[in-house]
Amino acid sequence: MDESAEIVSDGGHEAAAAAAIMDTDNGLVEEEKNTDVKVAPALISVHPFEKSVVVAVGSELRLFDLEGDCSVSLKDDSGGPFHSDAIRAITFGAKGRLFVSAGDDKLVKIWATSSWHCARSVSADKRVSAVAISHNGKYVAFADKFGVIWLITLDEDDANQSKVDNKAVPILGHYCSIVTRLEFSPDDRFIASSDRDFKIRITAFPKRPLKGALEIQSFCLGHKDYVSCLSFAHPLGYDHGFLFSGGGDSTVRLWDFFSGLLLATCEVGAKAELLQSTGTKDSYPPVTDLCSSFDGTIIAVAIQSLHGIVLLNCDFSDRTLSVAKVVTLEENYFPTSLASSTFTQRMWTIMGASNHLTPSTTQLPTRIRVISGYCKDRSNDNGYGPTVLEDSEVPGSQKLLSHLQGSPDVTKEDTALAAAAEAVKVSMRNMLIKKEYTLDKRELRKRNRNDRKLR
Residues near other proteins, by CB under 8 A: 1-4, 6, 22-24, 148, 170, 172-173, 175-177, 197-199, 201, 203, 207-208, 211-212, 214-216, 218-219, 221-222, 224, 260, 434, 436
Contact between 152 and 210 under an 8 Å Cβ cutoff? The reply is: no
Residue 301 CB coordination number (10 Å): 29
Contacts of residue 108, Cβ cutoff 8 Å, sequence gap at least 6: 100, 101, 102, 120, 121, 122, 123, 124, 128, 131, 140, 142, 152, 168
Task: Give the Cα separation of 445 and 128 in Å (integer).
Answer: 29
Find all residues with CB under 8 Å of 124, minimum gap 6, and list them: 102, 106, 107, 108, 142, 144, 150, 168
- The nearer residue to other proteins, 7 or 351, going by C-beta atoms, is 7
Nearer to other proteins, 260 or 352 (CB): 260
**Residue type for position 364:** L
Least distance CB 272 / other proteins (angstroms): 24
Residue 454: DSSP 8-state: P
Q: Determine which helix (DSSP H) or strand (DSSP E) holds 348, and give its type and residue range.
A: strand 346-352
CB of 87 to other proteins, least distance (A): 27
**What is the smallest separation between the CB atom of 142 and other proteins, expressed in angstroms?**
16
In a 3-state reduction of DSSP, which class is residue 179? strand
Which C-beta is closer to other proteins: that of 30 or that of 377?
A: 30
Phi-psi region of 3 (alpha: psi -120 to 50; beta: other; left: phi over 0): alpha
CB of 408 to other proteins, least distance (A): 45
CB of 239 to other proteins, least distance (A): 18
Residue whose CB is less far from other proteins, 21 or 70: 21
> Rounded to the nearest 10 degrees, how much is the dihedral formed by the CA atoms of 409, 414, 420, 422?
160
Of 294, 354, 298, nearest to 321 by C-alpha is 298
213/324 with CB nearer other proteins? 213
CB of 97 to other proteins, least distance (A): 28
Considering beta carbons, is residue 125 or 155 the nearer one to other proteins?
125
Return the number of the residue (5 or 401) whose C-beta is nearest other proteins.
Answer: 5
Q: Which is nearer to other proteins, 189 or 403 (CB)?
A: 189
How many alpha carbons fall within 13 Å on the CB side of residue 199? 15
Tell me how far, at minimum, the Cβ of 1 lies from other proteins, in Å: 5
CB of 214: closest distance to other proteins in angstroms? 5
- Considering only the C-alpha atoms of the chain, give the largest distance between any 2 of them, rounded to a whole number of Å: 82
